């Protein structure tokens, strides 16, 4: 994968990059993974993935349903949930539990627990993707005889652009 894509996906991107490339790369990666695994990336599943990738901020299932219904009247919640289950099962998206929302994965080729820095102001989520964090959690879990089911790390805070914006707003007063 191109470094430009990785940089865009692992930093907080507010426009300042060619997001079309992110979407194209993600869709191409998804198609490749599905072909390799003999899984079917149906037009609906692809469309849901594309909708999730409309930006780097996590998208809720209800928003997905609403966006989908524009082109596909009668799209029912179970349809969307089934598509999401498929995308999750193949590691193409991550579920952000604290926001009850979904975000595209920029590294779907490797199995990994999601690690995210989430901006509580603009809602953007940057995937950290550090294998050392995964390893540390697995090691500690093994020491405690703990069976890990989901390994998503969600860190809340403020992204740099939002800090700048809030600081400027503060100076204005
Ligand atoms: Zn992007
Ligand atoms: Zn990921
Ligand atoms: Zn922000």
Please tell me the distance between residue 52's alpha carbon and the centre of ligand 2 in angstroms.
13
Among 9, 8, 6, smallest CA distance to 17 is for: 8
> For residues 104 and 52, is the Cβ–Cβ distance under 8 A?
yes
Please tell me the distance between residue 167's alpha carbon and the centre of ligand 2 in angstroms.
31
> For residues 101 and 59, is the Cβ–Cβ distance under 8 A?
yes
Residue 40's CB: how many other CB atoms inside 10 A? 11
What does the mean pLDDT of the chain come to? 87
- Beta partners for residue 101, in sequence order: 60, 96
* Residue 103 burial (C-beta neighbours within 10 Å; 0-12, 13-18, 19+): buried
Instruction: Starting from the CA of residue 127, give the closest ligand.
Output: 2
> For residues 147 and 141, is the Cβ–Cβ distance under 8 A?
yes
Report the CATH number that the domain containing residue 128 is assigned in CATH. 1.10.10.10
Summarised one tens digit per residue, pLDDT across range 132-150 is 998 999 999 999 999 998 8
pLDDT at residue 150, as a whole number: 81
Summarised one tens digit per residue, pLDDT across range 109-124 is 888 888 999 999 988 8
How far apart are alpha carbons 29 and 107 in whole angstroms?
A: 9
How far apart are alpha carbons 144 and 133 in whole angstroms?
A: 17
Integer-rounded Cα Rg, in Å, for the chain is 17
pLDDT range class, residue 11, cuts 50, 70, 90: low
Summarised one tens digit per residue, pLDDT across range 82-97 is 999 999 999 999 999 9
Tell me which residue range forms the domain holding 91. 3-172
pTM of the model: 0.84
| Helix boundaries (H) for the chain | 3-10, 19-37, 43-52, 61-71, 77-89, 131-143, 160-172
DSSP state letter for 148: P
Please tell me the distance between residue 120's alpha carbon and the centre of ligand 3 in angstroms.
7
Instruction: Starting from the CA of residue 112, give the closest ligand.
Output: 2
Q: CB within 5 A of ion ligand 3: which residues?
A: 119, 121-122, 159, 162
pLDDT range class, residue 3, cuts 50, 70, 90: very low
Tally of domains within the chain? 1
Helix (H/G/I), strand (E/B), else coil: 117 = strand
DSSP state letter for 6: H
Please tell me the distance between residue 143's alpha carbon and the centre of ligand 3 in angstroms.
37
pLDDT at residue 94, as a whole number: 95
């Amino acid at each position: 994968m191109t470094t430009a894509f990785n940089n865009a996906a692992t930093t907080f991107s507010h426009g300042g990059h060619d997001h079309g490339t992110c979407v194209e790369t993600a869709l191409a990666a998804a198609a490749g993974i599905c072909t390799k695994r003999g899984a079917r990336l149906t037009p609906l599943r692809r469309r849901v993935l594309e909708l999730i990738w409309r930006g780097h901020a996590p998208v809720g299932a209800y928003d997905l349903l609403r966006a989908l219904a524009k082109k596909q009247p009668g799209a029912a919640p179970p349809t969307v949930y089934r598509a999401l289950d498929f995308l999750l099962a193949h590691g193409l998206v991550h579920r952000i539990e604290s926001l009850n929302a979904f975000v595209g994965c920029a590294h779907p080729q490797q199995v990994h627990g999601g690690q995210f820095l989430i901006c509580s102001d603009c809602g953007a989520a940057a995937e950290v993707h550090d294998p050392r964090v995964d390893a540390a959690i697995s090691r500690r879990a093994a020491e405690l005889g703990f069976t890990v089911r989901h390994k998503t790390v969600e860190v809340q805070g403020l992204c740099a652009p939002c800090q700048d914006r809030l600081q400027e707003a503060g100076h204005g007063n």
